């Protein structure tokens, strides 16, 4: 299988050139990603446990789904693609919430956070995640506070912003 191509960007998130995934990560170059928070009608957030085979943060809990923006793709094209690939949800209406600057916590990724609402059954991608679960924000607040190491740094950054913004 051919390795993914990512757009390498500058500090203003403007595309400089494209490069294979492994080189972008090895050289800690700035690139792009999306995260989606999927809520159900009870207000619970779906979180997933990253596969143990993932190169970064295996086995920790994170956003409902997330993924890199492929070369030539936009954030707004990537979010629904990731929702379909990782959770089997097609046609969801996504709300773009915030764009976060690239930093160590985001693994040098400019990250756009989206949210959506659905009560449809999800079909988790076993290659990406080992488990999924619905959790209330109050329960998640307790878990994050008790043991933040159980969550990815990017998720902690995004979730903290979300709770401050939509408290």
pLDDT given at position 64: 98
Instruction: Kindly give the residue spans of alpha helices, DSSP state H, lying in 3-133.
Output: 21-26, 75-87
Stretch 65-71: mean pLDDT, rounded? 97
Stretch 134-139: mean pLDDT, rounded? 98
* Measured distance CA(115)–CA(92) in Å, rounded: 10
pLDDT given at position 56: 81
pLDDT given at position 52: 82
Query: 23 with 6: CB under 8 angstroms?
Result: no
What are 79-134's pLDDT values in tens digits? Answer: 999 999 999 999 999 999 999 999 999 999 999 999 999 999 999 998 889 999 99
Domain regions of the chain by residue span: 5-165
Kindly report the CATH class assigned to 5-165: alpha beta
Q: What angle do CA 137, 112, 109 make, to 5 degrees?
A: 110
Stretch 55-59: mean pLDDT, rounded? 83
State pTM to two decimals.
0.95
pLDDT cut 90: percent of the chain above it: 91
**Partner residues linked to 65 by β-bridges:** 36
pLDDT given at position 55: 77
**Partner residues linked to 134 by β-bridges:** 46
């Amino acid at each position: 299988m051919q390795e993914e191509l990512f757009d390498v960007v500058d500090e203003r998130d403007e595309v400089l050139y494209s490069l294979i995934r492994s080189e972008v990560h090895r050289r800690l170059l700035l690139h792009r990603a999306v995260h989606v928070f999927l809520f159900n009608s009870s207000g619970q957030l779906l979180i997933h446990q990253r596969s143990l085979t993932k190169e970064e943060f295996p086995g920790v809990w994170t956003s409902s789904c997330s993924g890199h923006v492929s070369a030539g793709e936009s954030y707004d094209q990537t979010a629904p693609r990731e929702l379909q690939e990782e959770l089997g949800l097609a046609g969801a209406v996504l709300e773009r919430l915030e764009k976060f600057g690239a930093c160590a916590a985001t693994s040098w990724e400019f990250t756009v956070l989206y949210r959506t609402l659905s009560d449809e059954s999800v079909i988790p991608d076993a290659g990406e995640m080992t488990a999924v679960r619905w959790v209330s924000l109050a329960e998640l607040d307790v878990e994050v506070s008790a043991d933040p190491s159980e969550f990815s740094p990017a998720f902690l950054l995004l979730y903290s912003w979300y709770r401050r913004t939509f408290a």
